[in-house]
Structure formats: C-alpha cells, structure tokens
Structure 1
Amino acid sequence: MADLPFGFSSSDGQGDDPNRDDRKKDPNKGSPSDPFGFGGGEFDMKDLGQIFSKLGEMFSGAGNTMASGGQSGPVNYDLARQLASSSIGFVKPVPEQTSNAVADAVRLADTWLDGVTPLPSGASSTAAWTPSDWLDNTLATWKRLCDPVAEQMSTVWASALPEEAKAMAGPLLAMMTQMGGMAFGSQLGQALGTLSREVLTSTDIGLPLGPKGVAALMPEAIETFAEGLEQPRSEIMMFLAAREAAHHRLFSHVPWLSTQLLSAVEAFARGMKVDTSGLQDLAQGFNPAALADPSAMEQLLNQGIFEPKSTPEQVAALERLETLLALIEGWVETAVTDALGDRIPGTLALSETLRRRRATGGPAEQTFATLVGLELRPRKLREAAVLWRRLTEAAGSDARDAVWQHPDLLPDTNDLDEPAGFIDRVVGGDTSGIDEAIADLEKDFGDDSK
C-alpha cells in the first residue's frame, strides 16, 4: 500500500527513543514476560488505565483547544482550507480573454465529440480556474474521498483494544482522534495547496472533483505544462479541453459511475485493519518524563502505533478502482483521438505524454496515495485504450458506449488482458442478464429518490 494516511509513519516498533536500550537493561521493564513494562509477571488492566489517564490529562488542554476550533468529523477541513489557501497565496484573476478562449475550446471540442460518441455533451458551463478556484470547487469532493478512510481509522483504534481497555482508553482515544483530524487536515491542506498549481483540468485524476457539468481548465498550470513540449499552446489547450469535455460526458450520462468510484474508496476503508502490537509498543516504550515534553510525546505517537495493514478486502477494492479508472481513461483517450483526428496533429504525442504522466505517478496520484492510502494509478490504461479502440473498430461507437449502461456490462481486468472474448460477446449481441441488471439499477435509483 502507498504512504500511510493520517500522517502515521510505518514503523518496526523500535523507533528512535534514546531511552529504549536503557529500558531493555532494566529487569523490571520491558521483559518478554512483561511486555507492558510494569515490572510484574502478569498484565494488570489498572496499570493500563493509569497510562491512559496520564496521557488523557496531558491531551486535555489540546483537546479543548481543538474543540473550540470548531472541528467536527475525523478531518479538520477548516485547517486544511487555511493551510492550502496560505500555500497558494495571492493569485491574479484569470483574464477575460483567457476565459473566453477556454469556453471556445470546450464548445468546439464538444462539437467534434458529437461525431464520435452517442453520449451527449455533459458540460453545461465552462470555467477557467485559478488555484484558489480549484480549491473552493473541489474541497467538497475531497471530503467525500477522505472521510471514509478517516472515519474508519478513527474507529479501528478502539476496536483493536481489549474490551476492558476500551472504557479506560475512551478519553485518550478521543484526544487521539482529534489529533488525527488535525494531522490529516494539515497534510491535506499542504497537499491540496501544491496540487492546485499542478492539475490541468477538473478531471485530471480521472475523478469528478468539481461541480457536475462544469468543464474547468487551469490556464496557469497548462502554461507550465506546455513548456518544453513541441506542440503549440493552442493545440495543447484544445486537446485538454477535449479530454475535459469527454470526461464530463461519461460522468454526466453514466449515472452510476461516480457512485461506483466512491464505493470503491469506501470498500477500501472498510477493509482496513490495525496491527494491535502498536499498543504494546506504546505501553512498553512509555516514559513518564514525556508527559512534560509535548514534542517527545508527539514523537512517540508518530512511531506508527496504530499502523494500518493491507488486507485482501483492500486489495480487491483497489483492483476494482484501478480497473474502472483505466476504463474511463482508455475511453476518453479513444474518443478524443477520434474527435480530434487530423485536426490536431499532436494528439497522439500528447496522449502518450499524459499516459506516461499517470503511469509514473503524477502529483495528483501521489497526493491521493499519501492522504487516503490508495494509488489512483491505472496500471492497465494502455490495455483499456486498446480494448476500446478494437471494440470501436469491430462494433462501432454506439455498441461501444452501450457497454456503459450498467457496471455489469463493463470489461473486467481479465478482459483487459484478453479483449478478444469480450469484443466477441459485444459483437455477437450477448446481452444475457442485461435486462435484469438494468431493472435492478433503475430500482436502486428509484428507491434513492424516495
């Protein structure tokens, strides 16, 4: 799994506490038969309670401060916004001429896309965003993406404890949850501040981060991206506008798509487990002198005491997410290539540039991996593009895009490796189960609207 969320670091339990070697030499502390270092041969829950009480007292002041700051939920988004805005600093408004150029590019791209896909335009408006605009318009979606993992982390701490310890640990865990919210908020704010200056469009990471129907481009980032490329800036702008417009066609007219993406993230969070040995490390390494030194206590807590572990459920959720992202990106690449065709000579070269950017883990992918523990790197992007291309040639764009009617109709990871069988099924008109699947989908949406 990628970098751990919440600012926790992977640890082998040793840490770098200078007192650790001395503790091992003390026969009354930290022996194998006395893992909690209480000097007796048998663990006493009262001793654990004393540790929690002392730690709770130390954190009570910090907890009151955090509570007065208005934090609610597992992530301090107010702090995230403040740090991101501070990182962005002052930004000049986008000139009207540039905004008009973005609007013209999206409209022209939509006109060209009309000829290569039956999916209608999904862009009801256009925008040229500054980094601050991007932050304001995407933070709500970042909350939906980060909250499932953050909430799971805030509950697995308590679930990892013995029943008798839960009541004793309650106040401390509440403090640690608030500290985790601040740590995550701080990390999120710093990352979003950097990311806001690097993303090229609102759908740059393959997820619908911005408001529905708003096709947004980032002129400042596009200018930086264009440096060193051989293609004219006008063609680069046109190419990115076509990609943004194509993404919006999928997200606007495939109603289950956004839900499936978010569900994969939630499934990843539900599969999270915690290594409970971290609790033993905390107790064994506990030095009462640290209570008077907040920096030493913070160092102890940052040793990975509640380190999340990758599980089979998480691996399965990650595979589903990667496959879906690859299918989205592969379809967009196919549609954009067909739409631009000979109109933009550098289309293939630009597509390869973006593909490599994603494959090597661009800034957006790295940010999400660090914050949520998920890699958004669609490793089979090239295979997905080949599948969509071959399906278009064999069955046409109408049959190709009909596959998006229901998630059960989409190719899976095995189909990406061996697309011939999937293409044969589509060309042969194999729709076994499609009526039932669509009926179930309509029922689900009907129930949600009540």
Structure 2
Amino acid sequence: MTSNPLNPSNGDEEPKDPLAEMLKNLMGGQGMGNIDPAELAKAAGLPDDPNLLAQMFSQVQAMMSAPSEGPVNWQLAHENARRVAASGSDPSVTSQQSREVDEALRLAELWLDQVTGLPATGLIGRAWSRAEWVEETLGTWRRLTEPVANSIANALSAAMTEQMPEEMKSMMGGASSMIQNMGGAIFGMQLGQAIGALSAEVVSSTDIGVPLADLEMALLPANVAKFGEGLSLPENDIRLFLAVREAAHARLFVQVPWLRGHLLSAIEAYARGIHIDTSKIEELARDIDPSNPEGIQEALSQGVFMPQRTPAQEQALEKLETALALVEGWVDELTWGATEKLLPSAAALRETVRRRRATGGPAEHAFSSLVGLELRPRRLREAATLWALLKAERGIEGRDAVWQHPDLLPTAEDLDDPQGFSERRKLAEASDSEVDDALQKLLNGGFDEPADTGSAASDTPAPSAPEESAGSGQVPPAATEEDQSGDGGPDTGGSPKA
C-alpha cells in the first residue's frame, strides 16, 4: 500500500488521518468518491461547463493543499466573481458605447454646474463591462467585507474541528490547515458569487451609494440597457439621467474628500461589530454531509449564522443608513434639479430609481444575507426633502456648505423633522459661539472681575486710602481704579462691557 503524506498508515491498518483523506477527495483529490463536481459547482452558482469545472477544481485543490494567506481565500473570490460576471451576456464595450457614455457624462457635468456650487471633477467618463466592474471594485469589496468574512471563516473552521470525535482529533495530522483552507474557500466562493451577481445589476461605479472605485466615473452600457427594459422611454434619456446621477456622486466624493473614508469607516465599524452565531455553525458541522456541499452553500447564502443585532449594532446601522440616505438624497435632489426641465422623462426615471434603491435587487439581497450588511438608503425621500428645504432657505451655496465637515451633517432626528433642522442648527451654533467666546476670553487673560478685585485690594494699601481721599478731595480709590482701567462707571465692579 502506498503511503500518503497526509494520510499515514502502518501496514494494513486503517488510515490515521481519515479526515484529511475525506477533504482531499471532496476538493478534487484522486478518486472523487461520491462527490459530483457538477453538484458542487451548482451549489457555488457556477455554470455546468466541463472546462470551467476542471479549471475550478484544479485551482481549489491547489489552494486546499497550500497555506492560505488568511481566513478567506480572496483569490478564489476573485476568480469566482469573474466567472459569474462572464456567465451571462457580457460583451466587450464597443467604441460607440464608449463614445456615448463619455458624451453623456460630459453633458451631465455641464447640467450639474447649474445646480451646485461644487466644481466639476475633470474625470474622464468610462464605459465598463461587468468583468471590468469586478476588477475595478473588488479591492473595495474586500475592505468592506473582510471583518465579517474573517469571522465567518474562522468560526466555521473552528466549529468543524471542535465537533470531531476525540479519537479523530488525535489522528488529524495535516488536516487542520486543510480545514481552515476549506472554510476560506467556501466563503470565498460564495462571496465571489455575490459580487459577480451584483455586476449584472449595477449601472454605474457608485450605483449602491458607495464609491467602490477610487476617482472613477463610469457607466455599464449592458446594464443601462437592462435598466431601461419595460420603461418605454428613449434610450438616450435613460443614459443621460443615469449619467447625471453618476456625475453627481463623483462630484460629491471628489470635492468632499473626507466623505468616502467616512462612509467606508462606518461600514467597517458596523461589520467589525457583527458576532457570528457559533451555535448554528456547530449545528451545521454536526450535520455536514461531505457528499452534499449544497448544505454549506445554502446556509451561507441564507445568512443562518447572523444573530439578532445588539443595541450597539443598531446604533451603528442607524448612523450608516443616515449617511447613505444623505448622500443619495443630495444626489437625488441635484439630479432632479438638473434634469426636470431638460428631460421629459425625468419624473418617471426619478421614481424608478427611488424604488429600485429602496428595495434592492436579488443580488444585493444575496450579498446582505451573506455578510449581514445592507447598503440601501431606506430614508432617501426624507433626505431629499431636507436638502430641498435647505436650498430654499439658504440657497445652493448654503445647502452644499453642510458638506464642509462631518459634524455639520444632519442626523436621523433631522430626517424625522427636516423643517426643524435649520432652527436646531442655529441653536447649536449659538451655543458653540458662546463657548468659543468664553474660551477666547479665558485665553486672553481671563475674566476681569476676579482679577481687578484682587488687584485693587493688593495695589491700594488700606491705611493710606482715606488720607489721600480726605487731603486731596479726590474720588474714592475704587472709582479711581476704574477710571484708570478705562471700564467707566462706578457701578461696574470691574466687569467688561460688551
């Protein structure tokens, strides 16, 4: 009998590491046993293509046998996202499509100049295929999902190890690293599936309200055409309307440089606070059937590991949803202002986009179930109303000045009562002004009353004061001190006058 380094044996004895052998067979080792590659690919959302399956299993086998760079196999996520993006119709962008997108975005910039004081970005408009969108945005997706992805992958591998019988643990040998790699591979495949599916739904680089690509302004012609199906509206109107939205997003994120980091940090903070329900993972580990990987994939896709949110998580989510709503509401208000008199279909397109952003598509739901994070601006309409009111009260420049600092942004309370925002802001500014004045006065030498009183007592000897007053007929020393200090009036007691 030939010795296997991952499955050592002594003579005719049973293998000492049956788990390693099982995993090896499961993930593409010699003799797939009862594992059907087509079923495993189906569970991962891959097309039933023999060439793709052969390539995938070859890569997975290599990844399973080599140490992973981390709990999540991001290379596998990347490859799976590319495959899913290309599994449907994803033709290369033509020169005509590139020209149409560039012209639409240039015109959108000119229209926006009339409705905002923020300057144009100067970015060149891009036309992307779905595969190009995956390439351009995957780095940001990794940043957004890594905290929860690592938690799930670590919890999954730990639970599978803990659920083994003690006698099997002693025989694991080289299987521990394979278990960790298996957890990372499973989550990487599922995450890649979700991102690849999203590439078929988004119409631009900022369609989900977050700048997934750094300093880019792009539309996806194939998805723009898909968006317009059933609307019975001119294709050029649809492209122009979506171009104005993309240009508005880009202008905001470029001219308000702190905003992108603010949003991404809020998402990361929320994701780091997610705790994995290990009891459900342990239940899955007990019931796992190596010949039916669909069970693991289904559990991940349905988000069965996600517990109820804690109060801290609810607060983080409220902050995130408010920020997303403010961005989307501002873009909605500007897009309407720029297009209402130029595009006859602007009102219909505005309502279509609002409903689409509020509900999300199938791929967005799958992504939120996988990582426990939704990126939908639930309060878009309230935010748009608030921005419209600010424009009416303060003008375009005053409205856009709110973006100067994070502390100036409206809160969830302001979305509840948009009309009261300006009054609350005035009260807060007045209070801040009083504090600033008091602090400045303190830094300039303090308040005069305590200092003058002490000075008069120390500089004017008590015994001599009456003699000077009686002999010269002058005013009492207290009045003399006040006159010398320039504060005037004998009743002031040394206090400064405004």
Q: Where in structure 2 are the equivalents of 1:125-140 lying within 5 Å? A: 125-140=124-139
The answer as to whether partners of 1:74 and 1:147 remain within 8 angstroms in 2 is no
Specify whether residues 152 and 414 from structure 1 end up closer, same or farther in structure 2 by C-alpha distance, changes over 3 A only: same
Cα displacement (A) at 1:413? 0.9
The answer as to whether partners of 2:204 and 2:219 remain within 8 angstroms in 1 is yes
Say yes or no: does 1:86 pair with 2:83.
yes
The answer as to whether partners of 1:106 and 1:126 remain within 8 angstroms in 2 is yes
Give 1:182's aligned residue.
Answer: 185
Say yes or no: does 1:236 pair with 2:238.
yes
Give 2:357's aligned residue.
Answer: 358
Cα offsets for 1:101-138 (capped at 9, x unmatched)? 21111111111111211112235111111112111111
Distance in 1 (CA, whole Å) between partners of 2:183 and 2:219 is 33
Say yes or no: does 1:197 pair with 2:194.
no
SS of the residue corresponding to residue 274 of structure 1 reads coil
Cα displacement (A) at 1:331? 0.2
The answer as to whether partners of 1:123 and 1:215 remain within 8 angstroms in 2 is no
TM-score if structure 1 supplies the norm length? 0.73
Cα offsets for 1:143-193 (capped at 9, x unmatched)? 1111121123345569999x9x9xx89987754442232122211222233
Match of 1:308 among 301, 306, 309: 306
Percent identity reads 48
The answer as to whether partners of 2:81 and 2:194 remain within 8 angstroms in 1 is yes
Cα displacement (A) at 1:300? 8.0
Specify whether residues 260 and 279 from structure 1 end up closer, same or farther in structure 2 by C-alpha distance, changes over 3 A only: same
Cα offsets for 1:262-314 (capped at 9, x unmatched)? 2222222222223444476478x47xxx8xx7326885897689933232232
The answer as to whether partners of 1:126 and 1:215 remain within 8 angstroms in 2 is yes
Cα offsets for 1:201-255 (capped at 9, x unmatched)? 111111111231x210111111121122132111111111100000011111222
Cα displacement (A) at 1:372? 1.8
Distance in 2 (CA, whole Å) between partners of 1:435 and 1:338 is 38
Give 1:224's aligned residue.
Answer: 226
Cα displacement (A) at 1:393? 0.8
Distance in 2 (CA, whole Å) between partners of 1:183 and 1:193 is 15
Give 2:46's aligned residue.
Answer: none
Q: What do you get for the CA RMSD once the two structures are aligned?
A: 3.7
Give 1:294's aligned residue.
Answer: 290
Distance in 1 (CA, whole Å) between partners of 2:103 and 2:426 is 37
Query: Gaps spanning 5+ residues in structure 2: where?
Result: 1-16, 28-59, 437-498
Say yes or no: does 1:392 pair with 2:391.
yes
The answer as to whether partners of 2:186 and 2:297 remain within 8 angstroms in 1 is no
Specify whether residues 160 and 258 from structure 1 end up closer, same or farther in structure 2 by C-alpha distance, changes over 3 A only: farther
SS of the residue corresponding to residue 342 of structure 1 reads coil
| Residue identity in the other structure for 2:418 | P
The answer as to whether partners of 1:156 and 1:273 remain within 8 angstroms in 2 is no
Cα displacement (A) at 1:197? 2.2
Q: Where in structure 2 are the equivalents of 1:199-218 lying within 5 Å? A: 199-212=202-215, 214-218=216-220
Match of 2:70 among 66, 69, 73: 73
Higher relative contact order (CA closer than 8 Å, sequence separation 6+): 1
Give 1:372's aligned residue.
Answer: 371
Q: Where in structure 2 are the equivalents of 1:257-268 lying within 5 Å? A: 257-268=259-270
Distance in 1 (CA, whole Å) between partners of 2:203 and 2:328 is 15
Q: Where in structure 2 are the equivalents of 1:114-133 lying within 5 Å? A: 114-133=113-132
Distance in 2 (CA, whole Å) between partners of 1:279 and 1:196 is 29
Distance in 2 (CA, whole Å) between partners of 1:272 and 1:172 is 28
Specify whether residues 303 and 410 from structure 1 end up closer, same or farther in structure 2 by C-alpha distance, changes over 3 A only: closer
Distance in 1 (CA, whole Å) between partners of 2:126 and 2:294 is 43
SS of the residue corresponding to residue 341 of structure 2 reads helix
Give 2:335's aligned residue.
Answer: 336
- Equivalent residues, number: 376
Distance in 2 (CA, whole Å) between partners of 1:210 and 1:105 is 19
Distance in 2 (CA, whole Å) between partners of 1:301 and 1:209 is 26
Give 1:323's aligned residue.
Answer: 322
Specify whether residues 216 and 306 from structure 1 end up closer, same or farther in structure 2 by C-alpha distance, changes over 3 A only: closer
SS of the residue corresponding to residue 308 of structure 1 reads coil
Distance in 2 (CA, whole Å) between partners of 1:152 and 1:55 is 23
The answer as to whether partners of 2:115 and 2:337 remain within 8 angstroms in 1 is yes
TM-score if structure 2 supplies the norm length? 0.66
Specify whether residues 78 and 340 from structure 1 end up closer, same or farther in structure 2 by C-alpha distance, changes over 3 A only: same
Distance in 1 (CA, whole Å) between partners of 2:137 and 2:393 is 38
Specify whether residues 279 and 83 from structure 1 end up closer, same or farther in structure 2 by C-alpha distance, changes over 3 A only: closer
Distance in 1 (CA, whole Å) between partners of 2:139 and 2:75 is 12
| Residue identity in the other structure for 2:389 | R
Query: Gaps spanning 5+ residues in structure 1: where?
Result: 1-52, 438-450
| Residue identity in the other structure for 2:272 | R
The answer as to whether partners of 2:306 and 2:372 remain within 8 angstroms in 1 is no
Give 1:274's aligned residue.
Answer: 276
The answer as to whether partners of 1:205 and 1:364 remain within 8 angstroms in 2 is no
| Residue identity in the other structure for 2:182 | M
| Residue identity in the other structure for 1:417 | D
